[in-house]
């Protein structure tokens, strides 16, 4: 009974992982985890930005003479409409900078990961899987 080997699992004993290769695999895993954390943080900041934009839209309907409660830290401060809009614009500018910084960090991590991926796939080929399940 001849078996061509198709469809059967044959563990490859010729794949050797050196210490430096293991370090690269570990570094890739750390970078990947950090990138996931940054993506989650980015989603939160983008949601905050959307909420700020909606607040500005809602305030366009407010009365000029009305005092608007604005949260600063843990305290609400009543401000004029003009001061509240300025505060919201300042907060939006800060949030935009935070989002931009996170996007830059994410791109830097992706660049490092692609270098590691190229090296590891070049060495191990199909014996290693570095793809995210969601990608």
Q: What is the pLDDT of residues 97-109, one digit of tens each?
A: 999 999 999 999 9
| SS3 at position 97 | helix
Residues in the chain, total: 135
Q: What is the pLDDT of residues 1-53, one digit of tens each?
A: 444 444 444 455 566 888 999 999 999 999 999 999 999 999 999 999 999 99
Cβ neighbours, 10 Å, residue 76: 11
* Structural contact between residues 90 and 65, judged by C-beta atoms closer than 8 angstroms: no
Token look-up 């009974």 returns 1
Q: How far apart are CA 58 and CA 87, in angstroms?
A: 15
Q: How far apart are CA 49 and CA 94, in angstroms?
A: 10
pTM of the model: 0.77
Token look-up 């210490």 returns 19
Mean pLDDT of all residues belonging to the chain: 87
């Amino acid at each position: 009974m001849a078996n061509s080997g198709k469809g059967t699992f044959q563990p490859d004993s010729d794949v050797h992982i050196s210490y430096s290769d293991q370090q690269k695999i570990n570094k890739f895993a750390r970078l990947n985890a950090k990138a996931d954390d940054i993506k989650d943080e980015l989603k939160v900041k983008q949601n905050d930005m959307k909420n700020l934009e909606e607040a500005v839209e809602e305030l366009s309907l407010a009365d000029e003479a009305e005092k608007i409660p604005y949260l600063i830290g843990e305290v609400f401060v009543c401000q004029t409409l003009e001061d509240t809009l300025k505060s919201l614009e300042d907060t939006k500018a800060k949030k935009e900078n935070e989002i931009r910084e996170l996007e830059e960090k994410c791109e830097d991590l992706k660049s490092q990961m692609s270098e590691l991926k190229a090296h590891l796939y070049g060495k191990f080929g199909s014996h290693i899987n570095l793809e995210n399940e969601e990608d």
